[in-house]
Amino acid sequence: MENREEGETTVLSGATTNSKSLRATVPIGIVRQFGLKEGDQINWQLKVEAGEMVIVAKPIKVDEKK
């Protein structure tokens, strides 16, 4: 097994047959930590920190968008 940093790993799959987008499953630990439900959204930001690309994912709950 290869050496991985701490965290969870998910596998990407095609979003739809007519799309080039990919879909990933949100690990259950993250779902529970943020109380996510189907229909909630995640805002993705890309940042460069110490020469590395960092992805920041901010959960947006459906009830917060009102």
pTM above 0.95, yes or no: no
Query: What pLDDT, on a 0 to 100 scale, did the predictor assign at position 1?
Result: 40
Residue 63 has pLDDT above 60, yes or no: yes
Residue with tokens 């529970």: 32
CA–CA dist 44, 9 (Å, integer): 17
Question: Quick one: CA torsion of 1, 23, 8, 36, rounded to 10 degrees?
Answer: -160
Q: What is the pLDDT of residues 2-42, one digit of tens each?
A: 445 678 888 999 988 888 899 989 999 999 999 999 999 99
pLDDT value of residue 65: 56
